[in-house]
Structure 1
Amino acid sequence: MNALTKKLNSLLCIAFVLSLSACSSKPKLESDAIPPRVEQPGEAVNRQVYDDPFEGFNRRMYYFNAKADEYVILPVVSGYKAVMPDFAETGVSNFFSNLGEIPTFINAVLQFKLGVAGETLARFATNSTIGLAGFIDVATPIGLDKQNEDFGQTLGHWGVGPGPYLVLPFLGPSSVRDATGSLVDMAAYQATIDEFGMKDEEELFLNFLRSIDARANVPFRYYASGSAFEYERMRTLYMKYRELQIER
């Protein structure tokens, strides 16, 4: 099976796990909720600062992601957490976190953040050896802190603007720049997995497990805030968070 087919199969596996028919309607307020009569303070400013020309699409995708999360993803995550002992769940998270050191290292080098690159390389070497292929996080207790650099940050570091806000299927808040960066990071991850020489079905299972582990480690729950402005708040929080990541 050629590399392109393997990558397509990996994506199909993730899509199968997370699939749910899209719903184009907007979420309804609770029966006793009072519709806002005035614009939220600061909302006009946020709309000017954070470009959102795809708002209609983004809102529908946000709702789709909420329903996929509620009816498909979270039940699978709950089942996963129920059958996995805590130590095994931690080990799996550590393993995938260790794999994530590779794109972090590459992006740190591309941004000439040599201190970050060196610490990331030291973490990877330590956890991959003493930490038994990354299942045990030995690096953090000895002072090698986890870093976070991706290709979206690399593009931002070199002056590429975020572009319009964009909500991606299953992945959630993003921007045109960050979505492009995610494709590059996914390619780097896939190249790393290919080096393991696994069978196709083993690679598909690994991608499935990675998707479940990633969601299990994110405490966010859609519409838990009870705010009628959750979409706007998420947009502002995401875009500001990315600004701060790039500026540091």
Structure 2
Amino acid sequence: MSKNPLRNSLRIVAAALIITLLSACTIAPPRTDDPYERFNRKMYKFNDTVDRVAIRPVAVGYRKITTPNMRRVVSNFFANIKMPITIANDLLQGKPGQAGRNTGRFVINTTLGFLGLFDPASEMNLPPDSNDFGVTLAKWGVPDGPYLVLPLLGPTTGRDVWRTPVDSYYFDPVSWYAREHDLKHNAQYLPQFLYLVTLRSSAIDAEGLLEGVYDPYVFFRDAYRQRRLYEIYDGQPPVEIIERLQGTDDVDIDQLLEEQQQYEQGKGG
């Protein structure tokens, strides 16, 4: 059997594309329950502690020794080098046109953009795009499963939990590089480490959104579900699906306002 990861990936893409084209699946409705909430809350607290003690300080240090332009260049590089993940999942979802556009973006930024450090493709009406195996499973009709918070990995679902191992193993050049090299002091993992630091660094700007939120766990859970919903429906989820996810028929607005006021009063006292 060939050990070439690109060749194996192309075979898997081709086979799955045939399956996709032969089966017209309907996207399963989103779940709104949280059957593992007790476990999830414990994992959320664990991840939050690890973040505050170890991960966030590294990201803050990264921001102190870099400029916004430097961070943008690094982010551009990783967004470009991980584009094969998006292209592969475009094909798996039976979207050859979208795969072609993203391939064009990848080629332009890799060449004219100096290995993706710059983004000339956006100026050529090829805006950034992303896709993953979790969205592919949703397109195939796989239900999302229960909401989960995993140690270090963070929020996911029973369906989305498969996107990390599949995308990383088959479609991610950064993971390919780490697997195919054995450098001194495990230096082959430095690109992956820098990528994670870059992601955490970019999230610092959004930390102000948590101010005044009386239950951060619920905030992150709902935000994750809504973001995934928009990704699955290509940015245009049906109104009834949004209403189902938000649970507007079952929400007591007055009770939510009262809980928020009690939280703010307790915080102020």
Q: TM-score range by the shorter chain?
A: 0.7 to 0.9
CA contact (8 A) 2:148 2:158 kept: yes
Q: Helix, strand or coil: the match of 2:149?
A: strand
Distance 1:163 1:235, change over 3 A: same
Q: 1:133 aligns with which of 115, 119, 122?
A: 115
Distance 1:68 1:130, change over 3 A: same
Runs of at least 4 residues of structure 1 off by over 4 A? 189-193, 195-199
Structure 2 stretches lacking a partner, 5+ long:
4-29, 235-269
Higher share in helix: 2
The answer to whether residue 232 in structure 2 is matched with residue 246 in structure 1 is: yes
Shift of 1:87: 3.0
Percent of counterpart pairs with the same letter? 35
| Structure 1 partner of 2:21 | none
The answer to whether residue 78 in structure 2 is matched with residue 96 in structure 1 is: yes
Aligned counterparts of 1:114 and 1:104: Cα–Cα separation in 2? 12
Q: TM-score, structure 2 length as denominator?
A: 0.68
CA contact (8 A) 1:153 1:245 kept: yes
Aligned counterparts of 2:67 and 2:32: Cα–Cα separation in 1? 43
Which sits farther off after the overlay, 192-201 or 224-233?
A: 192-201
| Structure 2 partner of 1:40 | none
The alignment's C-alpha RMSD in Å is: 2.4
| Structure 2 partner of 1:16 | none
Shift of 1:111: 0.4
| Structure 1 partner of 2:130 | 148
Distance 1:90 1:191, change over 3 A: closer
Q: 2:219 aligns with which of 214, 218, 233?
A: 233
Aligned counterparts of 1:49 and 1:199: Cα–Cα separation in 2? 43
Structure 1 stretches lacking a partner, 5+ long:
4-47
Shift of 1:206: 1.1
Aligned counterparts of 1:222 and 1:174: Cα–Cα separation in 2? 23
Q: Deviations over 1:42-90 (max 9, x none)?
A: xxxxxx9423221111101111121222221111011111112333322
Bigger radius of gyration among the two: 2
* Residue type at the aligned position of 1:105: I
Distance 1:165 1:229, change over 3 A: same
CA contact (8 A) 1:119 1:145 kept: no
Aligned pairs (5 A) from 1:141-180 = 141-180=123-162
Shift of 1:189: 4.8
How many correspondences in the alignment?
A: 202
